Amino acid sequence: MSTGGLRVAVVGHVEWVTFARVPHLPGPGEIVHAADVFEVPAGGGPVAAVQLLKLAGNCTFFTALADDQLGHRSKLELEAMGVRVEVMFRPEAQRRAFTHVDASTGERTITVMGPRLGPHGSDPLPWDELAEADAVYFCAGNDEALVLARRAKVLVATSREAERLARVGVRLDAVVGSGRDPSERYVDIDPAPALVVETLGAEGGRFRTGDGTAGEYAAAKLSGPVVCAYGAGDSFAAGLTYALGAGFSNDEALEFASRCGAAQLSGRGPYEGQLRAGDLSGPSRERPPGA
């Protein structure tokens, strides 16, 4: 890992995603014509890793990929974006996804194909480096990988992994997920996370702390029209991870994360709109990385 500034990592999975920008999301039996089609490695792991890279200047991504053309291409493309990829290749097909993006609203629908490939704690990856990490975001992996991720100073996890989080029972600094997606419904975890966040899109979101304090936060203002909603939630999670790792208060971290999620909405695909360290201004910039 980089020795300068905040040291961050992601433990997660990859989906090879085909994006098709269409005039509107198709109804049953309808045919629509896409004006813009492109493919990139995406999913929660890469989106969070690239967002953390743009904020911290470094990010190590622990993952598993298929030992096929798309798996190897995913690694190369993520490395070309600047992410350090530590990967275990497995003898199966790479998970894929197809995403329609509504050109008028930016809303997206996603069809996922194939099982999720996450890293295992027994994989020969440099897990010891996580003990040096200031912050880690966990979005996929087996039980042992979650335990190893807990070596970091700050560990944030997605509520998509709620059953695993409850079963393993490691101490979590935050759990974050959509308050509207049933697959991200939070379940009680023992010990209780220091912070539980449920995002609600344009309505902001709600949170509660380990001592039972509950509250809400406002959505950040958009800089322009919504171009693509894909990746906004994962960019929010990455922003929250970065901010907590940097020592921000809960209120500061939620405001910062909300800015990351809102910025993502302005770009084509999962990476174009993401907030960069150089884009920050005002109170959120006053605290340097790693403070």
For residue range 35-57, what is the model confidence (pLDDT) as tens digits? 999 999 999 999 999 999 999 99
Q: How far is residue 55 from each of residues 51, 235, 249, 280, measured CA to CA in Å?
A: 6, 11, 18, 9
Tell me if 59 is assigned to some domain: yes
Statement: residue 289 has pLDDT above 80: no
Tell me if 281 is assigned to some domain: no
Rounded to the nearest 5°, which phi and psi values hold at 258? -65, -35
Tell me if 42 is assigned to some domain: yes
Tell me if 216 is assigned to some domain: yes
pLDDT tens-digit map of 105-119: 999 999 999 999 999
Report the percent of the chain where pLDDT is more than 70.
95
Helix axis angle, 69-80 to 44-56, nearest 10°: 20
Statement: residue 4 has pLDDT above 60: no
What does the pLDDT read at residue 5?
83
Tell me if 288 is assigned to some domain: no
pLDDT tens-digit map of 52-99: 999 999 999 999 999 999 999 999 999 999 999 999 999 999 999 999
What is the chain's alpha carbon radius of gyration, rounded to the nearest angstrom?
18
Tell me if 87 is assigned to some domain: yes
pLDDT tens-digit map of 21-38: 999 999 999 999 999 999
Tell me if 84 is assigned to some domain: yes
Q: Is 266:226 a contact under the CB 8 Å cutoff?
A: yes
- CA gap 10, 50 in Å, rounded: 10
What's 118's domain CATH number?
3.40.1190.20
C-alpha dihedral (250, 253, 254, 258), degrees to nearest 10: 180
* 3-state secondary structure at position 81: coil
Q: Among the listed ranges 2-11, 152-161, 242-251, 275-284, which one has the minimum average pLDDT value?
A: 275-284
Domain span at 190: 8-26+34-272
Statement: residue 177 has pLDDT above 50: yes
Number of separate domains in the chain: 1
Tell me if 204 is assigned to some domain: yes
